[in-house]
Structure 1
Amino acid sequence: MTPEQEQKLLKSLYDRLFDAVTFTPEGGRETSFGRETTFVQFSKNEALRKEDFANAMSPTNPQGDQRSALAFSEMVDQVPNVAADYTPSGRKLSETYKLIVDNANTRNDVDPEQKRIYDQAYDFLNQITEIPNFDGSPTAVPGPTPIVQTYNNNQAAYVTAYSGYRAAQNGYNFDNLDDQRAWQAVAPALQLNVDSTWNRWVQQGKANVERAQNALQTTINDLTSAAIAAAQSQMSDARWMSPLPGGAKVDAFICLTHRLGNRRKWRNRLLIKEFIFE
């Protein structure tokens, strides 16, 4: 394969993947990845072992393995260079975020009514769950409320459904008459899956959760000081975990719940980054 052919093939793969993850179904339905704010990168010749990330410590698994959390943190705690292929810039995401919040400053006063609305919306979306320990002292773990967890699950199902629809559609050559007829045979079932996951999402509180999320957004301007203070507390030195032998310290903010598939290795890692510009 010539370099020109390789570039053409890679461009085709990028275009198909980007099209699949940013696909917006008909009927004004929303997409989780906007075309204007999504950036896709490939990480070449990188193998991942699921055993390295098994039973990782996280907010939902506080008794998990710190070594797995460290491995996951080191994998995701990278600011990539802006290029077609993924390459780490050498800058840590956690350190960059900490630098931003530590140097942030605001003198906005908090309006009591705005704070009341903010607190109501926050409590609607978040809860503290106590996980028992063997010594009788429970661990308090922050997480989503049941309606938010249902929202997240339904959103994931919907995104999977319409991404599957788009990926399947991209597999057909519509210049070919046989492919045109074959697509007509499978499209209704795929569309039904998109419709059913969307309807389930709507019926199980989508509007309620988004109303609370919007309340947070509309009151956040008066709570900028509180938000910055909370972020500074989250990224304070006291939050960093003690270093493990041979590894850097792990910020608890980066120890996120994750899910890996059943395959032992991935030769290429697909990274989908969404940037929000305000």
Structure 2
Amino acid sequence: MGSATTQARTATTEALASTSGVDLDVARELFAAVGAVSGSSQLSGALSDSSVPAPARAGLVSAVFGSTYRPATVALLSSAAQQRWSNDGQFVEGLEELAIQATSVAESADIESELFAFSRTVASNGGLELALGGRLGGASAKGSLVSTLLDGRASAGTALIVSSLVQNARGRRVRALLRRAERIVADQRARIVATVYAAAPLSAEQQTRLQNSLSARYGSAVTLNTVIDPTVVGGLRVQVADDVIDASVSARLADLRQRIAG
């Protein structure tokens, strides 16, 4: 990712933080804008062309979206369009990230955990992953399938994110989309997501102790996502981004064997 895009993402995140009236309708419009922009190379190119003055790009946003979208949505889209992006593809990804962040702002539920739970469902069901990520099914059919699966099982915000992403996957794998969305929400809420692999479910007391320990280690609030893995013999294996903490019996035995072998 280029430095221009990094700065642009920071600026759009700051714009979201200072924009009032952001609700799920605004987030829904932002996702719709992602679809419109990604579906038109002419529009995405014009809005991300740094050789065009920023006010002109903002004017194009108003001309395209101003008559149908809410003022808050148009303001956020204009802010994103006025930034300098490395290329039009990263501009589209930036808009998508903005839409996910807006959903997180508007929804109080634990979106990270709900996204993780759904990603585990997808991972364990090849037919479902194919139905959501394959090229044969239409976008509306995929959206309807997500609505059916999540109805009464997840918040409206989570359903919006999942439905929007699978309908506009742009060749990306479903599980990768869900993991990215989970990271974006966690970052927006200043949390760290830790995936815990254990042979059996953790008690509430164990979860609290682990969260406190990880929070002290990483200096931030931690959300735990637990995966039951019978191959973890005793203890735990915890993954935070690329950092793996393996306190399982098998890991300790492997370490002991290595020390004996010299």
Instruction: Answer yes or no: same fold by TM over 0.5.
Output: no
Of the two structures, which has the highest relative contact order with CA contacts closer than 8 Å and spacing of 6 or more?
A: 1
Larger Rg: 1
TM bin, normalised by shorter chain, reads under 0.3
After TM superposition, the score normalised by the length of structure 1 is: 0.25
Larger helix proportion of the pair: 2
